[in-house]
């Protein structure tokens, strides 16, 4: 029996949200034995997400977890000032701990942000991970490719090519690793935290799970790129704003 891929996706309301999630769901539809855990950064579930999931033909769970107000990005505040997705990813981990069983459920957990670009091959690479698998990520950390460095003799991860905060224990992007489900369930305390330095979310979680020499390199010894940290441009809605000042809108 094929292990299930559990993709955890935090998402928040903005003009491009439906477009992002439509593209993502159409990638996910092509993956066998797939389960989508989508967590809205909101007080309550929205119809937009509920309908999108209902029509998606995917197996899914729809959760909500609002980011605490003190950690919410202020209008005009740069993105990097506050961590994103923390409360949402932890809520998904809690759901897995309450609804999946260490001895009977086999699967792998992947943190799939709503704006990245995923090659289907990525999901073949991660499915049989025993603890934590790692691979390169494109367009992140100020590089074309940020990736683990593999020792040819041992086949083990010995470091990283990262330039941004390379002193992190695991200088890797959220899109660059996946965790075996029973293994994660064997670490009931492991979670993300608001109280870590900027850019240390991934490193802090992985430090709670494994040591460097336990990492399982994937994607042809970390030489292939199957995921890109793409970011979507904000939509220009200048004229929409003008319309709405007149009590009208273009989307109804
Ligand atoms: N996200 C969220 N609430 C926010 C901002 C972001 O739930 O206030 C989600 C977002 O939809 C994405 C993930 O958290 O799935 C990472 O956010 P983003 O892509 O904006 O961060 P970046 O990749 O640019 O660091
Ligand atoms: Mn992103």
pLDDT along the chain (252 residues), means of 10: 97 98 98 98 98 98 97 91 96 98 97 98 98 98 98 97 98 98 98 96 98 98 98 97 96 90
Ligand 1 within 6 A of CB of 10: yes
pLDDT (tens digit, 9 = 90+) per residue, 101-143?
Answer: 999 999 999 999 999 999 999 999 999 999 999 999 999 999 9
Q: How far apart are CA 153 and CA 13, in angstroms?
A: 48
* Residues with catalytic roles: 202
CA separation for the pair 252, 133 (Å, rounded): 45
Name the one residue in this structure whose structure tokens are 């603890």: 131
Q: What is the pLDDT of residue 10?
A: 98
Q: Does ipTM exceed 0.95?
A: yes
Contact 157, 212 (CB under 8 A): yes
What percent of the chain has a predicted confidence (pLDDT) above 90? Answer: 98
d(CA 2, CA 10): 25
83 within ligand 1 shell (Cβ under 6 A): no
Q: How far is CA 77 from the centre of its chain?
A: 22
Cβ pair 29, 39 in contact under 8 A: no
Q: What is the distance in A from the centroid of ligand 2 to the CA of 82?
A: 13
Q: Which of 164, 108, 118, 110 is nearest to 141 (CA)?
A: 164
Instruction: List, for residues 198-229, the tens digit of each pLDDT value.
Output: 999 999 999 999 999 999 999 999 999 999 99
Tokens of 222: 């970390």
**Distance of CA 229 from the midpoint of ligand 2 (Å):** 6
């Amino acid at each position: 029996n094929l292990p299930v891929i559990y993709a955890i996706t935090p998402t928040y309301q903005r003009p491009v949200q439906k477009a992002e999630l439509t593209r993502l769901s159409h990638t996910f539809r092509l993956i066998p034995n797939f389960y989508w855990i989508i967590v809205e950064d909101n007080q309550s579930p929205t119809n937009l997400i509920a309908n999108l999931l209902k029509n998606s033909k995917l197996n899914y769970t729809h959760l909500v977890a609002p980011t605490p107000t003190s950690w919410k990005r202020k209008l005009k505040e740069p993105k990097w000032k506050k961590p994103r997705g923390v409360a949402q990813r932890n809520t998904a981990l809690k759901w897995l701990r309450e609804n999946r069983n260490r001895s009977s459920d086999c699967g792998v957990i992947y943190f799939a942000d709503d704006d990245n670009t995923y090659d289907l091959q990525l999901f073949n690479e991660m499915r049989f991970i025993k603890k934590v698998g790692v691979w390169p990520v494109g367009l992140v950390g100020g590089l074309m490719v940020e990736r683990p460095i593999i020792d040819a003799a041992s086949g083990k991860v010995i470091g990283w090519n990262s330039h941004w905060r390379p002193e992190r224990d695991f200088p890797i992007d959220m899109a660059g690793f996946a965790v075996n489900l029973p293994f994660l369930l064997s670490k009931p305390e492991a979670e993300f935290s608001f109280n870590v330095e900027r850019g240390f979310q991934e490193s802090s979680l992985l430090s709670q799970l494994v040591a460097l020499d336990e990492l399982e390199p994937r994607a042809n010894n970390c030489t292939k790129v199957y995921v890109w940290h793409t970011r979507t441009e904000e939509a220009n809605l200048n004229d929409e704003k003008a319309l709405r000042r007149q009590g009208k809108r273009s989307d109804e």
